[in-house]
Amino acid sequence: MARLSATLNQPADPAIRNLLGPIPATQYTNPYAHLFLFFFLGSLGTVSRVNSFPPPSRQAIERTVEEMTVAAEASANTCYRGCCSSAAIPLHLPASSFALLSPIAKGGESTVYDARLSDGTRVAAKKPVLSTSDDLDHFHRQLHLLCKLDHPGLAKLVAANARPPNYLFFFEMYEARSLAEKLHAEEWSPSVDQAIAIAYDLAKALQYLHNLGIVHRDIKPANILLDKNLHPHLADFGLATYKKDLKHVSVDNWRSSGKPTGGFHKKNMVGTLIYMAPEILRNDIHTEKSDVYNFAVSINELLTGVVPYTDLRAEAQAHTVLEMSYTEQQLTAAVVSNGLRPALAHPESGSPPSLLSLIERSWDPNPLNRPSFDDIVQELYSLMKHRDISSLPFTSSNQFQDDNDLKYIQEDFSWLTRGEELAKKVSTEKSNMKAWSSSLHDAVQYKPTLSWGSFATCGRREKMEDTHFMLPHLCNEKDVHAFGIFDGHRGAAAAEFASRALPTFLRNSDYISSPADSLLDAFTKTDKTFRDELELHRNSRKVAQKDWHPGCTAVTALIVGNKLFVANAGDCRAIVNRTGSPFPMSKDHVASCPEERARVMKEGVVVKWQVDTWRVGPAALQVTRSIGDDDLKPAVTAKPEIFETYISADDEFLVMASDGLWDVISNEEVVSIIKDTVKEPSMCAKRLATEAAARGSKDNITVIVVFLRPVSTAERIY
Ligand SMILES: Nc1ncnc2c1ncn2[C@@H]1O[C@H](COP(=O)(O)OP(=O)(O)OP(=O)(O)O)[C@@H](O)[C@H]1O
Ligand SMILES: [Mn+2]
Ligand SMILES: [Mn+2]
């Protein structure tokens, strides 16, 4: 308001000054001045109709007023109202710097054009229909939101023109157009693996939005755009909003809107009716879980290639469901009251049962029963790993891969499988497990009873660079178990490689007699094999960026009978709850630790205070030990520190986690959180990760919880 009053007081177009003339100056500074002005200008239109001048449209006047504001504003990159700003996206693209070519889609709300920027970039220009001041507000809300978003799974805004008279959004052009067109116009039929990869990418994008507190509210294949590699990008933020604003918006939409059955809202409702969750059809407020429902219907459409409910065509009344408006009510009633859903993809078509179950749970009538996108991402990620989809050409690799190894992926390369292959090749196939367990046959020794679970989430990060493994009963030895977590940096390559290579080395340890030596050996071999492989790839023509040095920190626990060994390199951490308090099983290797700093400097690498903490070398790494990071070897060593201890009845559980957890939750708090959680290891792991995310952890979070004694005993004690 301050801005408005300031600008209105400036000398401007005399026509406008005349229009505004009669308004007493005091009213400009009143907080409702804008509204006031608006009504006032609106009534002018009516007045001037009496005279024979053509009435200036409300929109024209509002824009002229806004133009004055534009003139008054410095060249700051904000919209004319000052509500939207961006460091990266130009918000005032002058008319001379773009050309609109042919329209590619036209809806009630907007026209999308094939367009070119002056540097020749092909973009999609979305020109919204702005006929009321509500539409203008809506444009600003949408721009404000789009300026805040940056995720590979979302349609990317590259520029905007947020000033009169041409309000435009410029998006990156996704050449394969929308999933709806691809499926129904081109009759594309994706492989199951392609469908899973698309679902995973989309789920990641939605997880990102939900973590920011944003709901999309219009997920459907027509709003899922595909690039030339068939990676999906969620588009159309016309209905997206902060969840916290939703109550308000919803009341606006459904109750106090002057036109409850027509216009904008009706159109949006109708346009997406077949994707809408029962609670929305009942006019409840949209939550994240309504997005989950829309997602499920869309993914099922991707798997089946069938527009929801159109396969009911044979049945008498369903015939017109999509064509005639009166049957919309019947469809609504069936979805809401009778639990009607689109026909689920057939297992015979190759869709894995776990995916079908995920879809069914995601369109559950009760929103509370639907999984969150954290859960969905996790499930799809496991499914992808299980099917080894990361090595297929159409993968959603960029979600958990660095842009560099994206190239490998597209050439059928996977750091995961490479880790396993190479470790097998390097190690001899002779296992030492027998030697370890021969020490176990002591009748009086304590026998821990194990149960284990894990949870991993990308959290607020865009990419998942943590990996982990759980190998209970290693080599079919009932008393030997291994667990590990790897936290990647500078890409996920090292973490992925290590998550397969390290357990393979462990399994195949040959000549070494003690488990601790085997751990040490597995760490150093994993590091060496990874760096050798990386060197080969960097020298090959496949990698554009030669200066690429991914690494990962690692923590691995090996339980042999009643003995626990933890090997750690970097800032993951492991603790045991021993007689009710945390007993550390690792030490953090970070540059802020004086001994570690001295060690690194002795090896000839500089450690400097940078930004907020001590950092190592030109790469400014915070950790002082890791696998990979070949630009900093040998100072940043892969040699782990190994702690060992006997497990006794005093020991309740082991917790291992990446630093995303420990950054925000102390060892003591971890113990007490598990104390009040159901004694089920994966529930405990999930609870800890969720708590860390809620406390603002900005990192990927992976947690493994291993109960060391029968859970019922533990529960009786607490
Ligand atoms: N960046 C883009 N690249 C390629 N095609 C695009 C792009 N953006 C939009 N389109 C095409 O234009 C169509 C409409 O875009 P969008 O959904 O953003 O507009 P809308 O007016 O909000 O439509 P709706 O009727 O779904 O609300 C899309 O389905 C797609 O076919
Ligand atoms: Mn759309
Ligand atoms: Mn839209």
Predicted pLDDT of residue 713: 55
Domain with CATH 1.10.510.10 in the chain: 179-399
Say which CATH architecture domain 95-172 belongs to.
2-Layer Sandwich (3.30)
pTM of the model: 0.50
Residues comprising the chain, all counted: 718
Angle at CA of residue 49, ends 44 and 54, nearest 5°: 95
- Could you tell me if the CB of 217 is within 6 A of ligand 1? no
In sequence order, the β-bridge partners of residue 557 are: 483, 566
CA distances (Å), origin 92, targets 4, 88, 106, 134: 19, 12, 24, 21
- Could you tell me if the CB of 224 is within 6 A of ligand 1? no
Predicted pLDDT of residue 306: 86
For the chain, list residues with pLDDT below 50.
1-55, 61, 64-74, 248-271, 313-326, 391-412, 716-718
Up-side HSE of residue 667: CA atoms within 13 Å toward CB?
A: 18
Q: How far apart are CA 369 and CA 362, in angstroms?
A: 8
Domain with CATH 3.30.200.20 in the chain: 95-172
Is the separation of the CB atoms in 573 and 648 below 8 Å? no
Domain with CATH 3.60.40.10 in the chain: 406-587+637-707
Q: At what angle do helices 373-387 and 288-304 cross, to 10 degrees?
A: 30
| Annotation says 412 is catalytic | no
- Could you tell me if the CB of 623 is within 6 A of ligand 1? no
CA distances (Å), origin 62, targets 25, 58, 72, 166, 276: 19, 6, 16, 14, 36
Q: How far apart are CA 500 and CA 415, in angstroms?
A: 9
Predicted pLDDT of residue 292: 97
Give the distance (Å) from ligand 2 centre to CA of residue 554. 44
Residue with structure tokens 């459904």? 254
Long-range contacts of 13-18 (CB under 8 A, 24+ apart): 13/64, 13/68, 16/61, 16/64, 16/65, 16/68
Q: Looking at the CA of 240, which ligand is closest?
A: 3
- Could you tell me if the CB of 182 is within 6 A of ligand 1? no
Give the distance (Å) from ligand 3 centre to CA of residue 318. 26
- Cα 43 to chain centroid distance, Å, stands at 48
Residue of minimum CA distance from atom 25 in ligand 1: 107
Q: Looking at the CA of 154, which ligand is closest?
A: 1
Q: Which H or E run contains 385?
A: helix 373-387
- Cα 258 to chain centroid distance, Å, stands at 37
Predicted pLDDT of residue 67: 46
Amino acid at the residue 299 = I
Give the distance (Å) from ligand 3 centre to CA of residue 363. 22
Q: What's the first-to-final CA gap in the chain, in angstroms?
A: 59
Is the separation of the CB atoms in 29 and 3 below 8 Å? no
Predicted pLDDT of residue 422: 85
Contacts of 88 (CB under 8 A, 6+ apart): none
Ligand 1 pocket test, pick from 113, 121, 126 with the greatest ligand atom count within 8 Å of Cβ, gives: 126
- Could you tell me if the CB of 222 is within 6 A of ligand 1? yes
Is the separation of the CB atoms in 706 and 452 below 8 Å? yes
Is 345 exposed, middle or buried, given 0-12, 13-18 or 19+ CB atoms closer than 10 A? Answer: buried
Q: Is CATH 1.10.510.10 correct for 179-399?
A: yes
Give the distance (Å) from ligand 2 centre to CA of residue 20. 39
DSSP conformational letter for 591: T
Q: How far apart are CA 70 and CA 63, in angstroms?
A: 10
Question: Of the listed 201, 218, 375, 479, which one is catalytic?
Answer: 218
DSSP-based three-state secondary structure for 101: strand
- Could you tell me if the CB of 177 is within 6 A of ligand 1? yes
Ligand 1 atom nearest to CA at 105: 12
CA distances (Å), origin 589, targets 510, 599, 643: 29, 11, 14
> What CATH number does the domain located at 406-587+637-707 have?
3.60.40.10
- Cα 491 to chain centroid distance, Å, stands at 16
